[in-house]
Structure 1
């Protein structure tokens, strides 16, 4: 019952007029979890509760903060259609971190959440101590296999059967999709704000000009930055060997792009794992990601002690 346990840590804060839901537990260095997805997706929902299998495991060593990203989960939608973008999602995440009083954090982002995490790592180098990019397909070029794998979901969209199908087809094992997450997803799908976000994003101008155009332009800029300077902090790539929507070749592409300029870049490949390695191998995932962040802490402390 990891999701139900996680809900006991739920908090709400207001940031720039946006009522934001987040989950906080543990003690130690701050570690921020940024889930996948984007606001207004017509056939799928996402929220911070997707981190439930690893949330309390990570909280044994860190102050873990899992944020419902802008317009997703239970967090308010943007006031303007111009803010239906990953850029606005990044700005919102930064404001939440600042509002909580943290000046140094480790970031863990999944897919679109990894895109946000990479942006923050580049734009806020004094803030981000390390970054884990989990199946960061939103950062890779080309057309996602998701367009093929998820081409014909069951109708009606966002019904329990359709939602379960969306998650199961992205995993290596359907057993990874727990009923407790499905209960959460079904609840989010019925929120008025979810329907409103879908209506806003169904407008072609908003979807193509605001979301897609900004995303692709920023992705190209990030690739140039990766090539020229890498990321300014230790970087861990996490990928599922058996991901049907984000092939391992995409992870290798990012690794090859980052490593020439950032030597502290590693990749961890999870066997028998699809798009949600934190669902399919939660204990190992928490150990790998937690150990990487702890090692980054030790290196930073060593550099500070030596005056470097």
Structure 2
């Protein structure tokens, strides 16, 4: 990917990819074990229509991996994104987030609503509803973080790739599976551990209570073969006023990997409608 930049934000160096010639700016936030490269296919297909900002989130890709896991908290990560947009001179953007990146996109939108044109959330959630659920998940995330450090990155990636959430990716061509694995094994052990402890689902604030107050348009995407996140998306839709919900057939959790052409088409059509409606 071209147009790569390293930007100092709040004492952390972020790796950012800027690509595209369109008037509409789209901030792209990847999932856990991902990077800006997650979006290379989408960017290549639509760079003539949009200006993409793809970020390696804290602890991922070529962005720094701070030692203190508190530095990875969602609120702090959202502050970093706001500072990055200020640095780039972007007053507002469309946010597209996948899984962990979708949780951060939602958290950013709640914290800095004036920066948001619209939200596209792929296989995402507003966190957990109750403190007891959060505590159980926080313990699980901490144990997983410790396991990454104990067994090393390569073995962790092998185990992570085999969890039920990604079972549908076994159907992918070998080339696609190799790309996913290469992105995961290019991570840093400390960064993934810090991300789990600081911005895991158990650690983030619950945003369920914020959904009814959201004013921006929201597109919710889930794969029909990912029943957990289909259910979450349906629950989110029930709480939102200005939303669209699309369930993509024959796709699991990572729609952009399993059906990239359909994913790109849906995103592009949604953004075009936003531009038409705004005008």
TM-score bracket, normalised by the shorter chain, equals 0.7 to 0.9
User: Quick check: 100-109 or 116-125, which moved more?
Assistant: 116-125
1:173 aligns with 2:169: yes
Spell out the pairing of 1:232-271 with structure 2 (5 A cutoff): 232-243=215-226, 246-258=228-240, 262=241, 264-271=242-249
Task: Tell me, in whole angstroms, the C-alpha distance in 2 between the residues paired with 1:162 and 1:212.
Answer: 19
Using the TM superposition, give the Cα deviation of residue 82 of structure 1 relative to its aligned residue in structure 2, in angstroms.
2.5
Say which SS state the counterpart of residue 15 (structure 2) adopts: strand
Task: Tell me, in whole angstroms, the C-alpha distance in 1 between the residues paired with 2:278 and 2:194.
Answer: 44
Task: Tell me, in whole angstroms, the C-alpha distance in 1 between the residues paired with 2:182 and 2:195.
Answer: 24
Q: 1:60 aligns with which of 43, 48, 55?
A: 48
Using the TM superposition, give the Cα deviation of residue 201 of structure 1 relative to its aligned residue in structure 2, in angstroms.
7.3
Q: 2:20 aligns with which of 4, 15, 26?
A: 26
Q: Tell me how many residue pairs correspond in the alignment.
A: 260
**Structure 1: gaps of 5 or more residues:** 1-6, 38-44, 189-193, 302-308
1:121–1:232 contact (8 Å) kept in structure 2? no
Structure 1 stretches of at least 4 aligned residues deviating more than 4 Å after TM superposition = 140-144, 198-202, 210-214
2:93–2:117 contact (8 Å) kept in structure 1? yes
With structure 1 as the length reference, what TM-score do the two structures score? Answer: 0.74
**Structure 2: gaps of 5 or more residues:** none
Q: 2:31 aligns with which of 32, 36, 52?
A: 36
Spell out the pairing of 1:183-198 with structure 2 (5 A cutoff): 183-188=182-187, 194-197=188-191
Q: Which residue of 2 aligns with 1:42?
A: none
Task: Tell me, in whole angstroms, the C-alpha distance in 1 between the residues paired with 2:247 and 2:193.
Answer: 38
2:124–2:229 contact (8 Å) kept in structure 1? no
Specify whether residues 140 and 300 from structure 1 end up closer, same or farther in structure 2 by C-alpha distance, changes over 3 A only: farther
Q: Which residue of 2 aligns with 1:82?
A: 70
With structure 2 as the length reference, what TM-score do the two structures score? Answer: 0.81
Say which SS state the counterpart of residue 131 (structure 1) adopts: strand
Using the TM superposition, give the Cα deviation of residue 46 of structure 1 relative to its aligned residue in structure 2, in angstroms.
2.2
Say which SS state the counterpart of residue 114 (structure 2) adopts: coil
Using the TM superposition, give the Cα deviation of residue 171 of structure 1 relative to its aligned residue in structure 2, in angstroms.
4.6
Specify whether residues 171 and 297 from structure 1 end up closer, same or farther in structure 2 by C-alpha distance, changes over 3 A only: farther
Task: Tell me, in whole angstroms, the C-alpha distance in 1 between the residues paired with 2:201 and 2:96.
Answer: 23
1:11–1:21 contact (8 Å) kept in structure 2? yes
Q: CA RMSD in A?
A: 2.9
Say which SS state the counterpart of residue 172 (structure 1) adopts: helix
Task: Tell me, in whole angstroms, the C-alpha distance in 1 between the residues paired with 2:4 and 2:35.
Answer: 12
